[in-house]
């Protein structure tokens, strides 16, 4: 259906449904990061991902699709108006809709096993920014926002060094304590040079957790809670570590705490249900 009704009519010659067995010329494989090193992303069939990982495409093909949305070639204007009409929480049919730089914008990000993507449309200016990366650390949305700012002559910030990569390398080479000292030193002396937001140490903690460095991961989540006492992501991480170590009571406490901080946190809700089932068994 997609080939007959969208890809072929629009001339999207480099877009196809995922097939792990197919040999696709110029296919970019996904990479995860461990510190400043890259590793192959762990395999997961994109057939399980649906909207966020079921297609291969290119920037050029996605631009053809974007241009077609202005013509009515794919769907009627009435359908397009419905697609971009906000329902709840700034969300329309598959698009976040709002304003940026004083202009109406519709956008969405994506991530899947070593890939990071972002597409933003400014329909009144017919300006579109598309970012596709085969690195989990690319922060495609931040890149896309910065490129949009450049396109409109607005202020933007240059990419910042990856603090979690610096800390990962220190943990692997010297241990947790030197990494913690370095974190405090950089936060004190270079507060604007790095991203010290909640996500930074949460992401690092989960990198360490996935590498089965549980003590180091726990230290990062605990360090983050010093700066962000209501970090739901840190509580999730501590819950996962407790669960991995068989401490069901602690896991339940951490997931319940996470939900107290963020009642809509589906990850915590699923984690809590999982460990309670395990306890019942």
Number of domains in the chain: 2
For residue 67, what are its two tokens?
């241009």
Q: Where are the alpha helices (H) located in the chain, listed in sequence order?
A: 2, 8-10, 59-68, 77-83, 140-152, 163-173, 176-189, 198-210, 214-227, 232-244, 248-261, 266-280
For residues 231 and 224, is the Cβ–Cβ distance under 8 A?
yes
Instruction: Give the 3-state secondary structure percentages of the chain, helix then strand then coil, rounded to 5.
Output: 50, 15, 35
Q: What is the pLDDT of residue 78?
A: 92
Indicate if 259 and 177 belong to the same structural domain: yes
* Domain limits for position 185: 163-280
The answer on 202 and 107 residing in a single domain is no
Please tell me whether residues 147 and 194 are part of one structural domain: no
Instruction: Give the CATH number of the domain where residue 72 resides.
Output: 3.40.710.10
Is 196 inside any structural domain?
yes
What pLDDT was estimated at residue 48?
Answer: 67
Q: Find the range with the poorest average confidence among 26-40, 187-201, 246-260.
A: 26-40
For residue 267, is it within any domain? Answer: yes
Q: Do both 58 and 187 map to the same domain?
A: no
Kindly state whether residues 219 and 129 are assigned to the same domain: no
Percent of the chain with pLDDT over 70: 97
Q: What is this structure's pTM?
A: 0.71
Is pLDDT at 126 greater than 70 in this prediction? Answer: yes
CATH at 257: 1.25.40.10
pLDDT at 47: 64
Average pLDDT, the chain: 91
Residue 249 pLDDT > 70: yes
Answer yes or no: is 99 within a domain.
Answer: yes
Q: Answer yes or no: do 181 and 112 share one domain.
A: no
> Last residue of some domain: 125, 152, 179?
152
Q: What span, in angstroms and rounded, lies between the C-alpha atoms of 57 and 258? A: 37
Angle, helices 198-210 vs 163-173, to 10°: value is 40
Same domain, 114 and 184: no
Same domain for 142 and 9: yes
Stretch 239-266: mean pLDDT? 96
pLDDT tens-place string over residues 149-162: 999 999 998 877 78
> Could you tell me if 141 and 171 lie in one domain?
no
Residue that is last in its domain, among 152, 174, 198: 152
80 and 20 within one domain: yes
> Both 234 and 107 in a single domain?
no
pLDDT at 112: 82
The yes-or-no verdict on residue 220 having pLDDT over 70 is yes
Q: Are strands 127-133 and 103-111 parallel, antiparallel or unpaired?
A: unpaired
């Amino acid at each position: 259906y997609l080939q007959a009704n969208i890809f072929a009519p629009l001339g999207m010659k480099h877009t196809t449904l995922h097939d792990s067995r197919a040999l696709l010329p110029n296919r970019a494989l996904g990479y995860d990061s461990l510190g400043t090193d890259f590793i192959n992303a762990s395999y997961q069939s994109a057939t399980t991902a649906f909207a966020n990982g079921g297609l291969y495409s290119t920037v050029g093909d996605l631009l053809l699709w974007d241009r077609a949305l202005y013509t009515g070639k794919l769907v009627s204007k009435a359908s397009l108006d419905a697609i971009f009409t906000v329902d709840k929480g700034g969300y329309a049919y598959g698009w976040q809709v709002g304003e940026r730089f004083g202009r109406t914008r519709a956008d969405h990000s994506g991530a899947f096993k070593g890939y990071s993507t972002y597409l933003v449309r400014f329909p009144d200016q017919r300006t579109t920014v598309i970012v596709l990366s085969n690195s989990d650390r690319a922060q495609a949305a931040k890149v896309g926002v910065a490129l949009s700012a450049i396109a409109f002559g607005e202020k933007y910030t240059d990419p910042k060094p990856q603090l979690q990569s610096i800390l990962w390398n220190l943990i692997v080479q010297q241990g947790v304590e030197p990494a913690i000292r370095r974190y405090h030193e950089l936060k004190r002396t270079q507060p604007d040079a790095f991203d010290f937001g909640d996500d930074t140490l949460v992401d690092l903690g989960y990198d360490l957790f996935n590498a089965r460095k549980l003590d180091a991961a726990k230290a990062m989540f605990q360090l983050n809670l010093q700066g962000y006492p209501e970090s739901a992501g840190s509580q999730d991480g501590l819950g996962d570590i407790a669960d991995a170590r068989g401490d069901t009571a602690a896991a339940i406490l951490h997931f319940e705490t996470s939900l107290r901080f963020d009642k809509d946190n589906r990850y915590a809700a699923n984690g809590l249900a999982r460990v309670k089932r395990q306890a019942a068994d």
